[in-house]
Amino acid sequence: MEPKLIDHLFRHHSGKMVSVLTRIFGLQHLDIIEDAIQDTFIKASLSWRKEQPEYPEAWLTKAAKNRVLDIFRTLKAQKNNSLHITQGTDAIAINELFLDSEIEDAQLRMIFTACHPKLDPRDRISFALKTVSGFSIKEIASALLTKEATIKKRLLRARKAIKSANLQFNIPQGKDLQERLDSVLEVLYLIFNEGFHSNSKDQLIREDLCGEALRLCKLLLNHQQTQFPECYALFALMCFHSARLEAKTNVNNEVLDLKQQDRSLWHFPLIQLGNSMMYKAVETKEFSCYHYEAAIAAEHLKAKTFEDTNWNKILHWYKALYTLQPMASHLLTMAVISMQTKDYKIANTYLKQLKPEDLEQRVYLYYAAKADYYAETDNFDEALLQIDLALDAVTNTLEKAYLLKKKEILKSL
């Protein structure tokens, strides 16, 4: 088995094992659980180089369980009682917790733990990627454009908060469920977005992050307590965006915008799945931001060609989204849409409401949009100034190459 495949399997499986074993032994032993599983997987990676087991996942499950049980046999409770959990009815109960349905339940508990209001919002996504998804500290730092030392601090802070607040490893009920669900969906949305449009320097798309966000969102939909309309809407949105992943870059690894994308490469089964999720999502009187974003993505997918895009409908959905969620990025997109409909006066009105710093890491998009505005209104000197500002601000090498191409076109006009 190739090292990359081993890494993928270990990461995917370690999240499951951390969740299940935390359910068995408690959040207070999370450090020991994670260390034990990591130790097991390191040993496995060495032994698999010689001979790969016939059923790798089953091998890992058994090895992880046995390794942790070995450790906990040596631990004595304060009352000097051993944790006798390897025989009799206790053993049966533990084996049942390794059934697929129970593994999903444990992972869902871990997601809600990671998104508990007692945890700092900045720590939640790091903690979720580590404990639920099995990402290494290095991978999390890369995904979030943060130093590894910062990620370590965030994880440490999250674990301390869990212990000091004595958090329970469960799925909240009643009002608490809805409040916590908002945080869960936000974390999953951020994980997916970082995969779909990465902030990393050399990689535009992180399919592993997109896939992980989809998997975790599906866990919510598989559980009767968390089958909410906004969960279906977010899953639909992820399906719609994922359907376009293959078309976002060409064979030369160059960025392609919607106008340039080969729509035959859009993955139809994912579009169909997204549509079926949207039917369930709209069985409600109140729409979430995920409903509106999914509706926007669906409009793009409906258009057979870029010219067929119903920009007025998309602008309508963006206005509704902005009312619900007044964000600078939405205003910027509304300006871009207005340029598509040749309504430059309205586009300029939206642009004037923005300040570059409002866009933070995506500030280059603001300058690129202004360059488009000036180019469309025949002010090419100003357009070149704005595209230079965009080039100074962009960090991703693929997007920089895309903007350089735009600059060459502007210089030729």
Of the pLDDT bands very low, low, confident and very high (cuts 50, 70, 90), residue 79 is: very low
Phi/psi at 203 (nearest 5 deg)?
-130, 120
- Asked whether 172 and 255 are in contact (CB, 8 A), the reply is no
pLDDT in tens, 258-296: 999 999 999 999 999 999 999 999 999 899 999 999 999
- How is the chain split into domains, by residue range? 1-98, 327-413
- CATH fold label, 327-413: 1.25.40
Between CA 202 and CA 205 the distance in angstroms is 9
The amino acid sitting at 160 is K
For 154, the token pair is 């965030």
Going by the DSSP 8-state scheme, the letter that residue 358 receives in this structure is G
For 317, the token pair is 């959905």
The whole model's pTM is what? 0.85
Chain centroid offset of residue 294 CA:
15
For 308, the token pair is 């067929």
The mean pLDDT of the chain is 87
> Residue 195 — left, alpha, or beta (φ > 0 → left; ψ -120 to 50 → alpha)?
alpha
Residue 237 above 70 pLDDT?
yes
Give the residues across from 147 on adjacent strands: none
pLDDT given for residue 251 in this prediction: 83
- 165 contact partners, CB below 8 Å, separation of at least 6: 116, 118
- Asked whether 330 and 359 are in contact (CB, 8 A), the reply is no
pLDDT given for residue 52 in this prediction: 79
Of the pLDDT bands very low, low, confident and very high (cuts 50, 70, 90), residue 234 is: very high
- Asked whether 132 and 104 are in contact (CB, 8 A), the reply is no
Across residues 4-13, what is the average pLDDT? 70
What are the Cα distances from residue 398, in Å, to 197, 369, 388, 406?
11, 18, 16, 13
Q: Where are the alpha helices (DSSP H) in 325-396?
A: 328-340, 344-352, 363-376, 380-393
pLDDT given for residue 2 in this prediction: 58
